[in-house]
């Protein structure tokens, strides 16, 4: 923890779900966190509940000026940047034929371009500070395909590849970059998913945001020899099972 003392972290999509659990986990490690999100009431309430080591800033991850402002505030309030968690993401349930071009591009913009933009702007700060950690929250949709969510799958595979490219580029600067690939997790994003989605998994249940947050904490504080790696939390779904999403026929 010594290398993170007096430094800052930014968590996107941090106001609820996995992001909020990650913020809480980092706060328990005494890592000061800026919560970046569009959900102002939820983000402000979370920051207030955590005290002086957390603050909320409104952030559209596709907006370069917004990113610069959040990173500036993080360093001004808490010290040089040490950790970036790219968690912000959206999903649209639409097939290749039915999903609109505008929605496909929106999903890719938020999930992939938004993460790239964060890394693009954070990397020089991490380099200048002597190193740091970037964790990108991908999905099992970045490991296998799912019907009916083409934009989401494309963005999460892209984020997986982007993680590896960034790890290769930034490793010499002591910046580690890893991806996490959750399966179905109890969050607002999965509320419309039937719990039976998990029935064929070896661990036949949805995961909890705190389980993903525990992996993030491990990557940030302990996995000091890991970079460019994929960490899967899916109840064993991708270990050999065929899984599907609601409404999908196989």
How far apart, in whole angstroms, are the C-alpha atoms of residue 197 and residue 228? 29
Q: Are 152 and 92 in contact (CB under 8 A)?
A: yes
Helix, strand or coil for residue 174? coil
Give the active site residue among 113, 146, 152, 225.
Answer: 152
- CB-based contact 35:57 (threshold 8 Å): yes
The Cα 180–Cα 230 span in angstroms is 6
Judge residue 78's burial from the number of C-beta atoms within 10 Å of its C-beta, 0-12 exposed, 13-18 middle, 19 or more buried. Answer: buried
**Rounded to whole angstroms, how far apart are CA atoms 55 and 72?**
13
234: Cα within 13 Å, side-chain hemisphere:
27
> What are the structure tokens assigned to 160, written together?
């997986």
CA separation for the pair 101, 91 (Å, rounded): 14
Query: Cα 66 from chain centroid?
Result: 18
DSSP state of 29: T
Catalytic annotation present for 152: yes
What lies within 8 Å, CB to CB, of 31 at 6+ separation is 4, 7, 9, 53, 82, 83, 220
Residues annotated as catalytic are: 152
């Amino acid at each position: 923890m010594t290398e993170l003392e007096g430094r800052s972290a930014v968590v996107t999509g941090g106001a609820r779900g996995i992001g909020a659990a990650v913020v809480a986990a980092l706060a328990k490690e005494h890592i000061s966190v800026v919560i970046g999100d569009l959900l102002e009431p939820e983000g402000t309430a979370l920051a207030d509940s955590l005290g002086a080591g957390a603050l909320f800033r409104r952030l559209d991850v596709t907006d370069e000026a917004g990113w610069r402002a959040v990173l500036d505030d993080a360093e001004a309030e808490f010290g040089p940047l040490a950790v970036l968690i790219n968690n912000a993401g959206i999903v649209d349930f639409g097939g290749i034929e039915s999903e609109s071009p505008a929605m496909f591009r929106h999903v890719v913009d938020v999930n992939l371009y938004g993460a790239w933009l964060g890394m693009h702007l954070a990397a020089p700060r991490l380099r200048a500070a002597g190193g740091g950690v970037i964790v990108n929250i991908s999905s099992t949709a970045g490991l296998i395909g799912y019907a009916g969510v083409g934009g989401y799958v494309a963005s999460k595979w892209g984020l997986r590849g982007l993680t590896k490219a960034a790890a290769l580029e930034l490793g010499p600067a002591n910046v580690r970059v890893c991806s996490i690939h959750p399966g179905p997790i109890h969050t607002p994003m999965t509320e419309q998913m039937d719990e039976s989605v998990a029935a064929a998994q070896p661990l036949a249940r949805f995961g909890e945001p705190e389980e993903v947050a525990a992996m993030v904490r491990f990557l940030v504080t302990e996995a000091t020899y890991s970079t460019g790696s994929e960490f899967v939390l899916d109840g064993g779904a991708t270990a050999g099972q065929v899984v599907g999403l609601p409404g999908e026929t196989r």
